[in-house]
Amino acid sequence: MLDNPIKKDVLRIVKTSPTKLTPRALEKIISERYQLEPKQIKLLIRDLVSDREITYSYKFGSTFLEQSFDKPVRVSKHVVLKPPACRYHSKPRDIVVQIKSGAAFGDGHHPTTRLAIQGIEYVCLNRKKLADDPSSSVLDIGTGSGILVVTAVCFGISKGFGIDIDPCARVEAYENVIANGLEDRIVISKQSFENLDQKFSMVTANLRFPTLSSMMNQLVETTAPHGFLILSGIKDSEMQSLLELYTEKNFRRLWSANELGWAGVVLQRCG
């Protein structure tokens, strides 16, 4: 448990680091900040791993320490991501999303996923008529784990449609749909975005800026009049350029946020 102020600070360091931290790098930070002995530092890290607050990951040929999502984690004011096998005593108005960790992108580790979830929360809490509308719908482009379309439907959007060209992602997304009991409200499909001919109340896309630029016309056409476009995967330095592109297409910014060099934005189509 995080009853130790040093443990709390170490977890904060891991969560807010703009770069991935190797065990040696984290040990050095702790040593410089608290003047602890090496054995004390290793014990502290071991306890945080044992408590599932942080976890080891292996990427790019190196080992890193990152925030663990092998337990319930709050990623916004109301949204808690939870592995299906874990227990969690929810608070009033919590939206608990069951997400199995897998190969597909979107388990909450990356800031862009959290920013997109926060954007969905903003829309659903501030536009209650949308969440209460039995005809409301959400499209998630490049759905990955399905986390965004599941979150939107958990907030009250009536129907969800997640598309992805990766068959592994589609399998994992559908497993997460089932884990949340939403198989009668969400469809996971390999249908190409270019061939969609319907409009959605909400469209989510956690994709890089060049892709969001190249598919802009289709994104505009797929968003219903007065509908909402939730974009993430944008670097801070790219936000102004993205806003200029979509403003020209008659969209206005309602909300935006930043985390660790990444940005997310909610746009509304004006008619």
- Residue 129 has a pLDDT of 84
Residue 168, domain member (yes or no): yes
Q: Is residue 72 part of a domain?
A: no
Q: How far is CA 73 from CA 47, 68, 107, in A?
A: 18, 9, 10
Q: Are residues 153 and 223 in the same domain?
A: yes
Regarding whether 134 and 252 lie in a shared domain, the answer is: yes
User: 117 and 235: one domain?
Assistant: yes
Asked whether residue 203 is assigned to any structural domain, the reply reads: yes
Domain that holds residue 241: 111-269
Residues 63 and 115 in one domain: no
What residues contact residue 66 under an 8 Å CB cut-off, 6+ apart?
14, 20, 21, 54, 55, 57, 109
pTM: 0.87
Asked whether residue 187 is domain-assigned, the answer is: yes
In terms of domains, do 133 and 257 share one?
yes
Q: Residue 215 sits in a domain of what CATH number?
A: 3.40.50.150
Domain containing residue 41: CATH number:
1.10.10.10
Query: Is the domain of 40 the same as that of 142?
Result: no
Tokens 């490049």 belong to which residue? 142
Question: CB of 201 within 8 A of CB of 130?
Answer: yes
pLDDT lower than 50: segments of the chain: 1
pLDDT in tens, 157-167: 999 999 999 99
Q: Is residue 77 part of a domain?
A: no
Whether the Cβ atoms of residue 237 and residue 261 lie closer than 8 Å to each other: no
CA 51 to chain centre: 23
Q: What is the CA radius of gyration of the chain?
A: 20
- Please tell me whether residues 115 and 48 are part of one structural domain: no
Whether residues 242 and 180 fall in one domain:
yes
Beta strands 73-74 and 79-82, pairing class? antiparallel
Q: Are 163 and 226 in contact (CB under 8 A)?
A: no
Residues 61 and 121 placed together within one structural domain of the fold: no
On whether both 133 and 253 belong to a single domain, the answer is yes
Pairwise CA distance, residues 130 & 135, whole Å: 9
CB atoms within 10 A of CB 213: 15
Q: Do residues 228 and 174 share a domain?
A: yes
The number of distinct structural domains making up the chain is 2
- Residue-wise pLDDT tens digits, 24-62: 999 999 999 998 899 999 999 999 999 989 999 888 789
- Angstrom distance (rounded) from CA 204 to CA 140: 5
Q: Are residues 148 and 258 in the same domain?
A: yes
From 67, 98, 119, give the residue that closes a domain. 67
Residue 202, pLDDT score:
98
- On whether residue 183 sits in a domain, the answer given is yes
Inside any domain, residue 30: yes
Structure tokens at 213: 């630029």
**Position 200 in a domain:** yes
